[in-house]
Structure 1
Amino acid sequence: MTVKGIDVSSYQSSDFSTAGLDFVIIKASKGAGYVNPKMVAQTVRARKAGLIVGFYHFLRPGDMVAQAQFFTGHVCSMEGDPLFADWEDPGVSAVDKDRFLSELKKLRGNGHRIGLYCNRDYWLNRDKTSNAGDALWIADYVNPGAPRITAPWLFHQYAEHPIDSSVARFSDRAALRAWATVKQN
């Protein structure tokens, strides 16, 4: 895999290294009340480096429709930026995850790819529908590009130290950008 990226949140600085990267996925929000205070600065940094930028919302127990509305109301995305649900809270069910993805698709699906981030355990043992929207971003800390699942995935988070690192299943940055900018119906 030659397409490499990281994800950042308020735990990382706004001047993270962009060397050798093709994409950055930025935490935008969590639940129905938290917005990453560094999101705008992190976005500016990534865009200035010419990277593909995506955003994620950390799902918390509660009203999934309200969380999708909160996310779309606060994320500083542009058309063509992939948007992800981050599913790792044990209080969020597979039904909740699907409800969020459905609402996010209604709200932003025409200009954005909508995807799911989760770890291997959630995908294999908690998920009941195999619904990942337009893209599965799987966390499994093994060799890059070799997650231990059979489902089709587009992004693989393979390391979390010193920073969350991922590869994407695209031939190059241009192919990733083309995928991200496709208009949805």
Structure 2
Amino acid sequence: MLKMVDVYSDSPRSFATQSGVNVVMVKATQGTNYVNPYCDKDYQAAKKAGKLLGFYHYVGGGDPKAEAKFFYKNTKNYIGEAVPAVDWESNQNSSWGNTNYVRRFVDEFHKLSGVWPLIYVQASSISQVANCSKDCGLWVASYPSMNWKSWKIPNMKVNTSPWPTYTVWQFTGDNMDRSIVNTTAAGWKKLAKESSKATPKKKSSWVKKSGTFVLGQALKLHESPHIDSPAIAKLPKGSKIEYDATLQGPLRLWLRQPRSKGTYGYIVGKDKYGKALGKLK
């Protein structure tokens, strides 16, 4: 395992080059208007000292896509070299408790960068980010006490479910944020370089196609073709939707229903696994 320390503006600058530490994770941004003024200073110092690198965004709780874009805009030169992470905590986070916020953030960041970020969260609140477990690594915070203050690994069980294990475990958070990384140096570099395997996705476009969709289960009719958009109605199994166009998005097949005054409703015809949710006629 590797030793990791995370640093922010109030950390001693020496933390970024500390002897015996393998990985330095630097706070980059918060919300949509804060950039850590010491971010690049610490990043470049750690790089010069031969450390493995990471950078993170502290969630402020505003629009998740806007925060992901802000994070990417201010850190895109680190992509491919350092591992990104999103910090999900209750303090200064107006969306704490929202179980879909981080999912929307990581989806947007991945769309921009091709990399899935790690997710930092306290062990007792993993349920808030559990829907990211198939894509993102877990950076879990779980302390034996607030007075540990050493690199000795605590002998304690750490909750990671639904993740089978952690990628990073932060076990102190008092005088220094100490973590251990559950991979090798090569493994860490691989996490950073996933973007090199990403291929740009073709922009999806609507295809004019008329038909009838018979719901095979209860589904929501949405205001826009996004799974998190507000629902116009929840339709029961067996309902029929007349559609005039289809859209194969990155994950789902959407059907467009013409409505009054030139408006539309949108419903999922096939889920993210390609499974039809009814009969297309």
Alpha-carbon RMSD across the aligned residues, in angstroms, is 2.1
* 1:156 to 2:161 alignment: no
Counterpart for residue 62 of structure 1 = 62
Q: Which runs of 5+ in 2 are unaligned?
A: 145-153, 199-281
Deviates more, 1:99-108 or 1:146-155: 146-155
**What amino acid is aligned across from residue 77 of structure 1 in structure 2?**
Y
1:121-175 CA deviation, whole Å, 9 max, x = no partner?
1104x345253733110001132785233422110001012210000111x3233
After superposition, the Cα gap between the structure-2 partners of 1:7 and 1:129, relative to the gap in structure 1 and judged at 3 Å, is same
After superposition, the Cα gap between the structure-2 partners of 1:132 and 1:78, relative to the gap in structure 1 and judged at 3 Å, is same
**CA separation in 2, counterparts of 1:27 and 1:67?**
14
Counterpart for residue 119 of structure 1 = 122
**CA separation in 1, counterparts of 2:155 and 2:179?**
7
After superposition, the Cα gap between the structure-2 partners of 1:57 and 1:180, relative to the gap in structure 1 and judged at 3 Å, is same
After superposition, the Cα gap between the structure-2 partners of 1:56 and 1:160, relative to the gap in structure 1 and judged at 3 Å, is same
Whether the 8 Å CA contact 1:115–1:133 is kept in 2: the answer is no
Whether the 8 Å CA contact 1:55–1:83 is kept in 2: the answer is yes
Whether the 8 Å CA contact 1:32–1:67 is kept in 2: the answer is yes
Whether the 8 Å CA contact 2:8–2:27 is kept in 1: the answer is yes
* 1:50 to 2:50 alignment: yes
Counterpart for residue 91 of structure 1 = 94
- For normalisation by structure 1, the TM-score amounts to 0.87
* 1:173 to 2:175 alignment: no
Deviates more, 1:15-24 or 1:49-58: 15-24
* 1:12 to 2:11 alignment: yes
**CA separation in 1, counterparts of 2:157 and 2:193?**
26
How many residues align? The count is 180
- For normalisation by structure 2, the TM-score amounts to 0.59
Counterpart for residue 158 of structure 2 = 147
Q: CA deviation at 1:18?
A: 2.0
**CA separation in 1, counterparts of 2:71 and 2:155?**
29
* Structure whose alpha-carbon radius of gyration is higher: 2
**CA separation in 2, counterparts of 1:184 and 1:154?**
20
Q: CA deviation at 1:81?
A: 1.3
Counterpart for residue 2 of structure 2 = 3
Larger RCO: Structure 1 or Structure 2 (Cα < 8 Å, ≥ 6 residues apart)? 1
**CA separation in 1, counterparts of 2:28 and 2:40?**
9
After superposition, the Cα gap between the structure-2 partners of 1:132 and 1:13, relative to the gap in structure 1 and judged at 3 Å, is farther
Whether the 8 Å CA contact 1:140–1:156 is kept in 2: the answer is yes
After superposition, the Cα gap between the structure-2 partners of 1:65 and 1:84, relative to the gap in structure 1 and judged at 3 Å, is same
After superposition, the Cα gap between the structure-2 partners of 1:48 and 1:132, relative to the gap in structure 1 and judged at 3 Å, is farther
